[in-house]
Amino acid sequence: MPNRTLLVAAFIVTLGGCATATPPPSIAPISPVANEAAPPTSPTLKRKIAIGRVSNETNYGRSLLYDNSNDPLGKQVSDMLAAKLVESQHFLVFERPDIDKIQAEQALTNQENQLVGVDALILGSLTEFGRRTTGERGFLSSTKAQTAYAKVELRLVDVKTGHVFFATSGSAEATLESESVMGFGSRAEYDATLNDKAINAALSEVMSGLIGKLMDRPWETYILDIQDDAVFISGGKSQGINPGQELVVKTQGKAVKSPQTGFVISLPGTEIARIRVASTFGDNETNEGSVATVLSGSIQGQDIAKLIITAE
């Protein structure tokens, strides 16, 4: 009898030693996420973007007092998206949701309003969001998993025409697991941060699509000024422009309205010169530029406002 008691005690101790601690929350994107902070390796046009509206269209977080101006989850998604756009180093991000606060500060300090127009407006919503708890209970052990799921859908709108030229969506899950044996081990309480992790991962997946669309757009820039033999152009180091690069100067093609679509189409321009970058200047993406010299052709006598510069 004493031997049997000792065996049972040893068995319980062994099972207790098998209890596992709670692992950190795991995030499971639906598809691979691109490296958001990778610096440009070739001239990259930074599209000027503003977030117009990203709302919560799910039932989560709603109440009888809910309205469009009282949307904390939608505002959270907007703020997280804005942070990712800035961190990606592929966009110039401008404030729109809290523009009234900026204008109030300008009026308070008598500053001139120098707001810059954007190329595209981001609109979208959190279309799916939910949580579930799953688990298994055995004779001596039990497991529990908390999972949060989020899906966001965004679209890019041309502010000049109102045309939606790109739409994308991203979804992801974040999971927290716990396990216990004979009552020993971890016991995970409700973790509200799983919501944030799922939304963050879903937005990361959306970023790969936004950046991919940006890469599809040909890079081009403009001449700022010509002084003697120096050609000053817009764009510098943060756009991937480096000394020694050769660029093409073209005339802007004639703009004509298409009877078929109603959109204005620019006809192909004509190459008139090639230039080589000698140096760059400026300390951030808003004031950077480059200095170049003419290798072939001529810019003399041209209206620089009607010229564009391309990588090839």
Token pair 């016991």 is found at: 187
Domain boundaries, the chain: 20-216, 220-310
Least confident of 70-79, 184-193, 221-230: 184-193
Q: Report the amino acid identity of residue 252.
A: Q
**Averaged pLDDT score across all residues of the chain:** 77
What does residue 4 show for φ and ψ, rounded to 5 degrees? -65, -40
pTM to 2 decimal places: 0.66
What does residue 155 show for φ and ψ, rounded to 5 degrees? -140, 150
Q: What CATH code is assigned to 20-216?
A: 3.40.50
* pLDDT value at residue 125: 92
Q: What percent of the chain has pLDDT over 70?
A: 67
Q: Is the pLDDT reported for residue 158 higher than 50?
A: yes
Confidence band of 276 (pLDDT split at 50, 70, 90): very high
Find the mean pLDDT for residues 190-207: 86
* pLDDT value at residue 131: 85
User: 220-310 domain in CATH 2.40.10?
Assistant: yes
Exposed (0-12), middle (13-18) or buried (19+): which is 274, by Cβ within 10 Å?
middle
How far is 170 from 126, CA to CA, in rounded Å? 10
The radius of gyration computed from the CA coordinates of the chain, to the nearest angstrom, equals 28
Secondary structure, 3-state, the chain:
CHHHHHHHHHHHHHHHHCCCCCCCCEEEECCCCCCCCCCCCCCCCCEEEEEEEEEECCCCCCCCCCECCECHHHHHHHHHHHHHHHHCCCEEEECCCCHHHHHHHHHHCCCCCCCCCCCEEEEEEEEEEEEEEEEEECCCEEEEEEEEEEEEEEEEEECCCCCEEEEEEEEEEEEEEEEEECCEECCCCCCCHHHHHHHHHHHHHHHHHHHHHHHHCCCEECEEEEECCEEEEECCHHHCCCCCCEEEEEECCCEEECCCCCCEEECCCCEEEEEEEEEEECCCCCCCEEEEEEEEECCCCCCHHHEEEECC
Confidence band of 219 (pLDDT split at 50, 70, 90): confident
Q: Sign (positive/negative) of CA torsion 112, 113, 119, 125?
A: positive
Confidence band of 10 (pLDDT split at 50, 70, 90): very low
